[in-house]
Structure formats: structure tokens, C-alpha cells
Chain A
Amino acid sequence: MTEMKLSWPKNYNEVPKEAFVREDIYAEEVKRIFHGTEWHPVAHESELPNAGDFKTYRLSGVPLLIGRDVEGVVRVFYNACSHRGNQLETAVMGNKTEFECPYHRWLFDSKGDLVGCPNPREFLPGFNKADYPLAQPRFDIFFGLVFVTLSSETEPLLAYLGDSQNTLRELLAGDGRLKLLGYQKVRYDTNWKSYTDNDGYHAPLLHQAFKMLNWQGGNGRQFTATKRGHICFESALSVATGPTVLKDKSLIEFKGQDPAVGSRIVSLFPTFVSTKHLDVINLRFATPIDAETVEVHYAYFAHQDDDEDMVRHRLRQSSNLLGPCGLISMEDASIFHRIHIGNHTPGSAIFQKGVHDPLKLESEFLQNDESGNLPRWEYYRSVMGFERATA
């Protein structure tokens, strides 16, 4: 691996801004992190409810085809023909039981096997269709959430998730039996790390809405899991009580169960953020496009057991509350852009709230602490091989 020079400050609460903007660092991140020993969520099975349903996705540029085969089993393939590597499927989603590559008409079934190719007698002597299925990356599934890793050395998924499993399972409605409501997709002008550093983490002072809606600050727990610093939030849900400025109060109404822990966020290294807030269930599949751009697909879900009224409520709440145009999150989107502009200046981003001792890493935090991001930064630093200053 390439040696990169970057002086990392001695204090755990300081992150050099250079790390967000240098092209050479980004190229190395693709190798060490996105193609390295990490698991990346790329879909939830409920996005493909029926046999033959598929979705395509690019994981930091690598094209994937995620499909449910004719027997109902979800599989992940590289979205490239096993002949000369032509992109096999161009649709973002759809339903097909066979995939035909138009270039030389090789035909694959929903299990990825090559089932037809014209004129094989002209091919290499001994050519055998069975040797040319679609290639597959390693993948695994946690309560319907489909993860891919591009390295053979990544530890098993459950070990990777560690103590974040419980919060993530609860966020996936406890049983993972979700029903897709739709997507909001956006490209932000920001480095992927600025996105993950500021999504999920909660800055109540930013949100004028909290005050205007008479929303009380909830009591919450924030903790990190595994050496990667996956971040989990579990908070009591504070529902607006007094008068609000909204004429349609259903936008902030809570119809679900369990207000004691009504709000959950799980943010997995490197880019995944998921949240369950009020009755919104939202998985954010995010991937870097380049050092200056990240693309986020906000996918929203209902639960399979919801009645019609509940689905409708979730749909109305999901559309208007938490996405790139949502009442309590549009401002976050603007912060992603502005942080990235600010990162083109010398020095470090300095975390304050919740930091007790800059020379120590902790793993339990208060709901609105900034310091919950620090274990993840320490892991990032070590993966990238940047040396921490001793003085």
C-alpha cells in the first residue's frame, strides 16, 4: 500500500481537515476501506418482494445486481457479463427471470447461471457454459439487510456488527419484515466522511423546528460498538405536546408502539446511516462518487403487518419529515455542503461536546454529544495508516 504523509494530531478530538479533501487520500480510501475489509449495506430484501425482482447499485463505482431468484432466494452478483464484462442490467430496478447481455447474447438465469450463448462451437475448445456463471461478491443478510464485502478477509457479518446488532434489529422493526414505500435520492457536494460525520449525529441547535414544534429534548443513550466505532442511538421519543405551528399535526404524530425507545439510529462504518424516528423507518444507502461527492439513496419502509391506515400514515410522514427536503432534516443537508467547503482550510475540526479528556476514547455518550464520532475516527486513522503525533 502507498505510504501517505498526513500528520494526525495527538488529541483524539481533533481531525485534520486535509483528510476530507485530498485526492490521494481518497484513492487510498477506496482501496483500504471500500474494497477492503468492511461490510457495506446495499439493499434490504423487502426492496425485492417478488421472485424475479432486482435492483442495481454501484458500491463506490463497483456495479452490483441484487436479485431474488425464481425460488425466492436473494443473491448478489457483479453487474457485468461473464464474457467480456459488459454491464449486464441497466435498469435501476425491475422484474426479470433472465438477464440477456445484448453484446453477444449470452443469457443468464436468475441464479446467475449461463443458460445460453449463440454459436459456442466457435469458442475456445472445451468451452463449457457451467464455467461462466455471473461472478459474485461475498454477501450476507441481517434481518433482510443485504451486506456486501469486496474482501475475502472481512470477519463474519455478525462479528462485524457486534453490539450494534440489537439496535439495528429493533430499527428493522424487530423482525426485518418490511415493505418498501419508495426512495428519495440525492448527490451531495461533500466528502463521504463529512456526510457520515454529520448525518445521524444530532445537532438540536441547528433545528429551528424543534423549538417551533415545542419538541422537548429526549433522554437518550448513544454508544459505540466494535473497534470500528459503529454508532447507536436509542432515545425516548418526545412527542410535541403544546401548541405547534403546524396545521396538519399528523406529520409529527406517533402511532407506533414503544415510545420508551421510539427513536433509534444506527450508523455503521463507513457510510451507512439508518433511522427509525416516530413512524418513519429509513435506510440510507450512501456511496462515494469521488472525493467531493457522495450519493445517498434514502429508502423508506412500512411493516408488512401494518394496516392500510398505518401505511398511509408512514407514507405521509416519511415523505415530509426526514429526507433531503424534510421538515427536520433539510438543514442537515445544507450542513454537509458547508462543512465540505470549510474543510478546504488549514487545521483540524475540533470536537467539543461530550469530550472529557482529549487523550482518552470513550464508548458511552449522551444523546447530543459530538464525541460519539471519535472511536470511528480512531479506526479510520488506523486503517489509513496515519500516525498519531505523540506530542
Chain B
Amino acid sequence: MIETDMSLEAALNAVLLADADALDSKDMQRWLDNYADEENASYFCRSAENSEHGLALGLMYDDCRARLEDRVTFVNDIWVGTFQDYRTRHFVQLTSYHRADTATLEMRSNFSVFMTPKDSGITQVLAAGQYLDSVRQQKNGGLKLLSRRAELDTSVLPRYLVYPI
């Protein structure tokens, strides 16, 4: 069990970093494993511009566990060898959190993602924005993402997306 605010904050940061590390390693299975094993586990990626105007459309709209699993299939199997690959580096910073109920926490964090296409080798910013996360406390005390909304300040992407943000 998490005893103090300090250890809770450290545990939330560990969730953020686990996601960033999985994505930057392009390890989609590890990305999926950082989500709670619940049917309504979800990941949304959409521009803040859409959200602010009440437009629900996203760049990625994975509103159930099955879609998260399909996202792994897209990257690992379906798209292999068809795109210009790129490295990413995610920088995340927890900005606030609060407990929603005994098993759930809500947290906000800022992110920026650099990308370096393998062919050009030139690094640029892919996107910046906020993560709005619900985090589930597991029976063993560990934390997993229940839902993540990546809200992009970047309304015009500099290229197509292969990996989640």
C-alpha cells in the first residue's frame, strides 16, 4: 500500500515513465502492459482544438481494451516495412493529481515529444500537450493506466503518426 504523498507521487511518476520508456523503445507490448487489464481501458489522442470545440474525433480512438490490443497489432504486424521509421523521446512532467475514489487516481501531466526520422536524422518537435490520465490501483498496490487522453496543443502535425503519443 502507498503510505505517504511522497511515495504516491513517486508511484505516479513511475507510471508516466513506464509509458514513455515503452514508447521510446517501440515496445508496444510493454506499452499495453502499462494499462489496467480491464475491458474499458482506453487511450485517446486528439488535438486540443477538437476538444475545445466539442469535437470528439481523435487521431487515435482506442476506447476499449480490444482496440488497445489492435493498436499493438497495427504497429507490430500490419504496418511493418511501409513507413519511414523515426525515433521518439517523450518528456513528461506531472503537474497535478488527486484521488477520485479508493481505487482510482486522476493525474495531469505535460508532455513534449521529439522525433528524429531515421532517413533525415534531423530532430524536430512532433507534438506537445497534456496527458489527462485515470490511474487504477491494483490489488497488489501497483498502479496502471485505466484511461489516457493525450490532448495535443499541436493541432497540425508535422507528419503522420505510427506510434501512440
Answer yes or no: A151 CB below 8 A from chain B CBs.
no
Question: Which one of A182, A251, A300, A330 lies within 8 Å of B70 (CB-CB)?
Answer: A251
Once A184-B57, A334-B84 are accepted as A-B contacts, the answer to whether A248 and B67 lie under 8 Å apart by CB is yes
In the complex, identify which listed stretch (A104-112, A204-212, A355-363, A371-379) lies at the interface while the others stay far away.
A204-212
Once A182-B46, A183-B49, A334-B84 are accepted as A-B contacts, the answer to whether A248 and B66 lie under 8 Å apart by CB is yes
Q: Mark A202-231, 1 if CB is under 8 A from B, else 0.
A: 000010110010000000000000000000
Answer yes or no: A318 CB below 8 A from chain B CBs.
yes
Q: How far is the CB of B144 from chain A (nearest CB, A)?
A: 19
Question: Which one of B58, B64, B70, B78 lies within 8 Å of A208 (CB-CB)?
Answer: B78
Q: Judging by beta carbons under 8 Å apart, are B55 and A325 in contact?
A: no
Q: Judging by beta carbons under 8 Å apart, are A330 and B162 in contact?
A: yes
Contacting residues of chain B (19-76) with chain A, CB-CB under 8 angstroms: 45-47, 49-50, 53, 55-64, 66-67, 69-70, 73-74
Task: Give the docked Cα–Cα distance between A189 and B63 (Å).
Answer: 31
In the complex, identify which listed stretch (B2-10, B98-106, B150-158) lies at the interface while the others stay far away.
B150-158
Residues of B near A331 (CB, < 8 A) are: 79, 82-83
Q: Mark B121-165, 1 if CB is under 8 A from A, else 0.
A: 000000000000000000000000000000000011111111000
- Return the chain A residue nearest B64 by Cβ: A248
- Size class of the A contact interface (CB-based, 8 Å): 35 or more
- Return the chain A residue nearest B45 by Cβ: A325
Q: Mark A309-342, 1 if CB is under 8 A from B, else 0.
A: 0000001101110011101001101100110010
Contacting residues of chain A (139-193) with chain B, CB-CB under 8 angstroms: 180-189
Q: How far is the CB of A50 from chain B (nearest CB, A)?
A: 12
Question: Which one of B49, B50, B73, B162 lies within 8 Å of A245 (CB-CB)?
Answer: B73
Q: Judging by beta carbons under 8 Å apart, are A181 and B57 in contact?
A: yes
Q: Judging by beta carbons under 8 Å apart, are B161 and A324 in contact?
A: yes
Q: Judging by beta carbons under 8 Å apart, are A181 and B56 in contact?
A: yes
Residues of B near A182 (CB, < 8 A) are: 46, 50, 53, 55-58
Question: Which one of B50, B56, B59, B155 lies within 8 Å of A325 (CB-CB)?
Answer: B59
Answer yes or no: A69 CB below 8 A from chain B CBs.
no
Answer yes or no: A246 CB below 8 A from chain B CBs.
yes
Residues of B near A248 (CB, < 8 A) are: 64, 66-67, 70
Q: How far is the CB of A311 from chain B (nearest CB, A)?
A: 9
Once A184-B59, A331-B83 are accepted as A-B contacts, the answer to whether A212 and B53 lie under 8 Å apart by CB is no
Once A208-B80, A246-B70, A325-B160 are accepted as A-B contacts, the answer to whether A319 and B55 lie under 8 Å apart by CB is no
Task: Give the docked Cα–Cα distance between A188 and B49 (Å).
Answer: 20
Q: How far is the CB of A319 from chain B (nearest CB, A)?
A: 3
- Return the chain B residue nearest A321 by Cβ: B61
- Return the chain A residue nearest B44 by Cβ: A319
A sample of 5 inter-chain contacts (CB < 8 A) reads A181-B57, A245-B77, A245-B78, A247-B69, A334-B160
Question: Given A182-B46, A319-B59, A325-B60, list of 11 further CB < 8 A pairs?
Answer: A182-B50, A182-B55, A182-B56, A183-B49, A183-B50, A184-B59, A295-B156, A325-B59, A325-B161, A330-B161, A341-B119
Using a CB–CB cutoff of 8 Å, the interface residues on chain A facing chain B are: 92-93, 180-189, 206, 208-209, 212, 245-248, 251, 295, 300, 315-316, 318-320, 323-325, 327, 330-331, 333-334, 337-338, 341
A-B pairs, top 8 by smallest CB distance, nearest first, are: A182-B57, A182-B55, A319-B61, A333-B160, A247-B66, A334-B83, A331-B82, A324-B160
